[in-house]
Amino acid sequence: MASVDLEKPFDYVVVGGGTAGLVIANRLSEDSNVRVLVVEAGADRSTDPLVLCPGLVAGLYGKDEYDWNFISAPQPTLNNRVINQARGKMLGGSSALNFLMLVYPSKGNIDAWAALGNEGWDFDSLAPYLRKFATVHTPPQSSKDLCGLTYHNEDLAKGDGPIHVTFSEGYNVTNQAWLKTFAGQGLEVTTDPRDGRALGAFQNQASIDPVTHTRSYAASGYYSPEVAKRPNLVVLTETLVNKIIFDTTGDEPVATGVEILTKDGEKKQISANLEVILSAGALQSPQILELSGIGSKDILEKHNIPVIVENPNVGESMQDHPIVCQSFEVADTTPSGDVLRDPNVLNALIGMYQSSGAGPLGQSTISVAYSPLVDGSGIVSAEAKKELLASHEKTLTTPDAQAIKKLVESSDEATFQFLLFPTQVSIPDTPKSMAEYILPALPENYITVMTILNHPFSRGSVHISSPDVRAAPVWDPKYNSNPLDMELLARGVEFVERIVDPSTPFGQLLKQGGKRQPEGLVATDLEKAKEIVRKRQISVFHVSGSCAMKPKEQGGVVDTRLRVYGTKRLRVVDASVFPLEPVGNIQSVVYAVAEKAADLIKEDRKAL
């Protein structure tokens, strides 16, 4: 890196070498006449075994060299607990420490983006990019034998993108029982989830390379050794961006470059001839905008930052999927990942993985179910849904809320995502890191059923705490601040009792009379279900919406070409631009939005 000439202007400067940033850098540098710089705060960990081995992900959390490790403000609706939020602090960003789940958004969900004033962002417009980022591999016969996969559509799955998407060979009786139990509730998937219409239980894929059994993520896929050799692409690691630099002499401020802080503490300015593209993620893209003078006048003046563009929407509209984790003790013969607490077992599996890539450490065995609104009686009727929503109508005044209301009312849209997780989950009041949630603290063996609200009505915020970029911003997700979220989540928790009932195939894998977490709480009514939410809800990594793509008067920060309102030559490309949280795990949508954004940027350059 010492030989790189930073004095010579770049065409594009990408702030953040994460999931979206590396997509942008890869696609823009395909043109050898375009000079691209990526500035990444973390290091390149693309050869690190903890990053590459899917089953060792817990070893990344809370460690400064891998994880930003955000902690929320105390949450009043969750017994004032604070919530941990792992964020990738390395090349590849959070794709380097996520749980590798590859699921897809629904058609109605993405069409709602367009309906909020974002022409060109409907499902059919995004669908080609949901295919472009991935190479989807044919399921192994063992997966078909155990999980059916009759809905898997090879034609829909076609693509040759940089990210490998695979089914595992490690599925077991818990995955099979999960699928059968949901089918028994009238929730069996009959269509490939990629078509945007899936409801029911299905075996999701994972971002794992089937040849090497390693994590397939933005750094390995979009910044491969071949891409890294491009002379027109420069990646600076372990370097912070203090702020974006503007020329304010014209009608609108023009982004002309960035001020960086090297790991040696030296400040430098780097020029961008064409654009600065902010891809620092949903917690840090708004932070950098505010540090650069774009945001709420009150917040900026409080920190003595000159106001370049006043837009109080920056850092607002923060969305996150709330997830409620209930753990159930398993029968003696039922597989549980909790056995990895035994160092002898773990070392044996590490040896197996090192020798051939075989065994559970190179696999993902999480299963999924999408469902409409359900409760302890099963699928909720249209009439009961209308009645519940009508009772909260006074809180549903924004265009966002009305769009979500339509999704909840629809019998074809997934209000919930349920997950089967192969280990116990612990919920301390003040977690030091994500590892404290997922490393086994109890002596019994468990598996966990997770309830996710796909379309939360609540909106949080993230704002600077200091004019120093090294000071973490204040993240306040404001979970369940719209009380309708608590009502919905509690109904999903009630439904879990139907899944774990001893009469179901899934329930038969649990220890009869065994322990459950939270201990002693069974969701036999709505109030008990709400208490479970208060004790056991955390975050599922999916923060988004803090620089929303919407009309400015409706809370927007960027327009439909992801350009920051009130500026020139500045865009945001990452999950912060999502106008509404997508259904399910958001990895696929981050890749797709970044791929589409790269095409928009190329189009705009041609129009110059």
d(CA 175, CA 152): 16
Query: What is the spatial distance between Cα 253 and Cα 569, in angstroms, rounded to a whole number?
Result: 9
Q: From the candidates 152, 321, 455, 542, give the one annotated as an active-site residue.
A: 542
DSSP code string of 472-541: PPEEE--TTSSHHHHHHHHHHHHHHHHHH-TTSTTGGGBPTT--EESTT---SSHHHHHHHHHHHEEE-S
Q: Which amino acid is at 281?
A: G
Give Cβ neighbours of residue 281 (< 8 Å, ≥ 6 apart). Answer: 16, 18, 87, 93, 94, 543, 574, 575, 576
Q: Tell me the C-alpha distance between 500 and 182, whole Å.
A: 11
- Bridge-partner residues for 38, per DSSP? 14, 235
Is 23 marked as a binding-site residue? no
The Cα–Cα gap between 545 and 143 comes to: 36
Cβ atoms 451, 488 nearer than 8 A: no
Q: Tell me the C-alpha distance between 257 and 234, whole Å.
A: 15
CA–CA separation, 263 and 257 (whole Å): 19
- Contact, 455 vs 580, CB < 8 A? yes
Find out whether 181 and 509 touch, Cβ atoms under 8 Å.
no
The DSSP secondary structure of 332-378, one letter per residue, reads TTS--GGGGGSHHHHHHHHHHHHHHS-SGGG----EEEEESSEETTE
Q: What's the rounded Cα separation, in Å, for the pair 228 and 21?
A: 14
Give the three-class secondary structure for 78: helix
- For residue 343, how many other CB atoms are within 10 A of its CB? 8
To the query of whether residue 542 is one of the catalytic residues in this protein, the response is: yes
Tell me if 580 sits within 8 A of 403, measured CB to CB.
yes
Catalytic (active-site) positions: 542
